[in-house]
């Protein structure tokens, strides 16, 4: 997978390639999907959540360019595979997801892979207060626009990876401020989910 797909799509960062070789992607894929672990498709995880294509994962990590001394906030834990990759590249990863079963599964997989510099939490990005700042924020679902309050979660000189737009046009960007970003590649991923608001009963 790494040789045939990731490198051929201009992912050349040696640290990223090594992390993708060291973590077995098939171990993070649902059992019934394991034969497709290295296919160039997004794999369903349940809850209308999908595991990104391997190429998108690699290009995303190359765009955000994590350093060994950095802390990261991941929005959308999913399978936990990207969480594990980032944990190999940086000091610590905090990761949140709406779905408790995905968090538990990801936690188990990370423990099995002996990755312990992570903290996973069930939370809604749209109503989240981290209580601290990070060097980088990585958002794994697409957004129509990046909320400005995200930048209060960043340390000085921090950055945010986000995929912005709507089907059929989405752009992977790295933001350094609300109106300052670099464009890296075009792709399509499912929108970031928001917890459903309970509607009052009408009498």
Q: Which residues contact 2 (CB under 8 A, 6 or more apart)?
A: 17, 20, 21
pLDDT (tens digit, 9 = 90+) per residue, 7-40? 656 788 999 999 999 999 999 998 888 888 878 8
pLDDT (tens digit, 9 = 90+) per residue, 48-78? 999 999 999 999 999 999 999 999 999 999 9
pLDDT category at 202 given cuts 50, 70, 90 is very low
What is the per-residue pLDDT for 203?
36
What is the per-residue pLDDT for 31?
86
> How far, in Å, CA of 48 to CA of 42, rounded?
11
Alpha-helix runs per DSSP H in the chain: 14-22, 54-64, 81-89, 100-112
Is 3 buried (19+), middle (13-18) or exposed (0-12) by CB count in 10 A? exposed
The model's pTM: 0.91
pLDDT (tens digit, 9 = 90+) per residue, 159-189? 999 999 999 999 999 999 999 999 999 999 9
Q: Could you tell me the domains of the chain?
A: 2-186 (3.40.50.150)
pLDDT (tens digit, 9 = 90+) per residue, 105-146? 999 999 999 999 999 999 999 999 999 999 999 999 999 999
> How far, in Å, CA of 84 to CA of 107, rounded?
10
């Amino acid at each position: 997978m790494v040789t045939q797909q990731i490198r051929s799509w201009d992912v050349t960062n040696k640290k990223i390639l090594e992390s993708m070789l060291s973590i077995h992607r098939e171990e993070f894929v649902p059992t019934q999907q394991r034969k497709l672990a290295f296919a160039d498709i997004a794999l369903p995880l349940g809850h209308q959540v999908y595991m990104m294509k391997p190429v998108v994962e690699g290009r995303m990590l190359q765009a955000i360019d994590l350093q060994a001394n950095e802390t990261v906030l991941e929005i959308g834990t999913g399978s936990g595979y990207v969480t594990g990759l980032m944990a190999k590249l940086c000091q610590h990863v905090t990761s949140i997801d709406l779905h408790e079963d995905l968090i538990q599964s990801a936690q188990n997989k990370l423990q099995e892979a002996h990755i312990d510099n992570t903290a996973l939490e069930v939370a809604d990005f749209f109503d989240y207060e981290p209580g601290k700042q990070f060097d980088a924020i990585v958002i794994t679902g697409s957004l129509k626009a990046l909320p400005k309050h995200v930048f209060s979660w960043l340390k000085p000189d921090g950055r945010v990876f986000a995929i912005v737009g709507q089907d059929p046009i989405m752009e992977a960007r790295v933001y350094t401020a609300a109106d300052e970003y670099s464009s890296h590649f075009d792709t399509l991923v499912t929108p970031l989910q928001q917890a459903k608001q309970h509607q009052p009963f009408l009498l």
